[in-house]
């Protein structure tokens, strides 16, 4: 494992950014429902994760195994692995295209992985301040979704890398479009990338989670 050391000044700036993000999350939790362990909790309402319990456990296992294999192959850089319903998103950076390809192959070989979305960048590692800002943006996106009346915030998993927002989840076409719209409106988001598993309205109904009304329908009532 290679550890990169930074100057005290850089660490101080990064710590300040992290503290700012933590303050935002704390303030939001005081006035909005809380998302805990894949469940959306607040005002007596619980909306369960749209994955099965087995899929959630497998996703956790995939992330641990895939991250370990990926980081053992990369000589430098920073790699993050996110799994949702066995679809794996790889973000971060590696120094060479060859390593990007090797990491993807290693992750795809992990047991139970259905597909891999390789969004690794070839280039230098993002600064601590950049990663802290990404965490801040991610918190803002989730807060925006919580505030929206026409989406289930718990249906979306948000990953932000250098200002690019990756959205994962099992959603309908309407939810996919609306989620991307909400994320794109958050300050600091450069681009939104959809990594969704699209469900039909009928599929969603079988999960016991009827779709919320569209903004137009809500306004008409």
Residue 74 is predicted with a pLDDT of 79
Beta bridge partners of 157: 168
Domain 53-122 has CATH 2.60.120: no
User: CA separation (Å) from 54 to 49, 58, 63, 177?
Assistant: 11, 6, 14, 28
Q: What digits encode the pLDDT tens for the residues 16-58?
A: 444 444 444 444 444 433 333 333 333 333 446 999 999 999 9
Rg of the Cα atoms in the chain: 18
Q: At 33, give phi and psi (nearest 5°).
A: -60, 160
Q: Where in the chain is the domain with CATH 3.30.1340?
A: 53-122
DSSP 180-210: HHHHHTSTT--EEEEEEEE--HHHHHHTT-P
- The model's pTM is 0.74
């Amino acid at each position: 494992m290679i550890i990169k050391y930074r100057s005290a000044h850089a660490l101080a700036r990064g710590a300040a950014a992290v503290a700012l993000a933590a303050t935002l999350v704390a303030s939001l939790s005081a006035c909005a429902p809380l998302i805990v362990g894949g469940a959306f909790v607040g005002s007596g309402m619980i909306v369960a994760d749209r994955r099965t319990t087995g899929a959630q456990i497998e996703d956790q296992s995939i992330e641990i195994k895939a991250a370990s294999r990926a980081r053992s192959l990369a000589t430098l850089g920073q790699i993050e692995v996110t799994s949702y319903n066995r679809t794996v998103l790889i973000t971060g950076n590696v120094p060479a295209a060859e390593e990007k390809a090797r990491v993807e192959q290693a992750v795809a070989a992990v047991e139970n992985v259905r597909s891999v979305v390789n969004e690794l960048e070839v280039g230098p590692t993002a600064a601590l301040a950049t990663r802290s800002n990404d965490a801040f943006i991610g918190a803002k996106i989730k807060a925006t979704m919580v505030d929206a009346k026409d989406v289930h915030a718990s249906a979306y998993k948000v990953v932000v890398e250098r200002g690019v927002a990756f959205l994962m989840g099992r959603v309908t076409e309407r939810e996919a479009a609306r989620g991307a719209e909400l994320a794109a409106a958050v300050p600091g988001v450069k681009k939104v990338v959809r990594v969704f598993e699209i469900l039909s309205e009928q599929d969603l109904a079988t999960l016991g989670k009827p779709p919320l009304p569209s903004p137009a329908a809500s306004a008409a009532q």
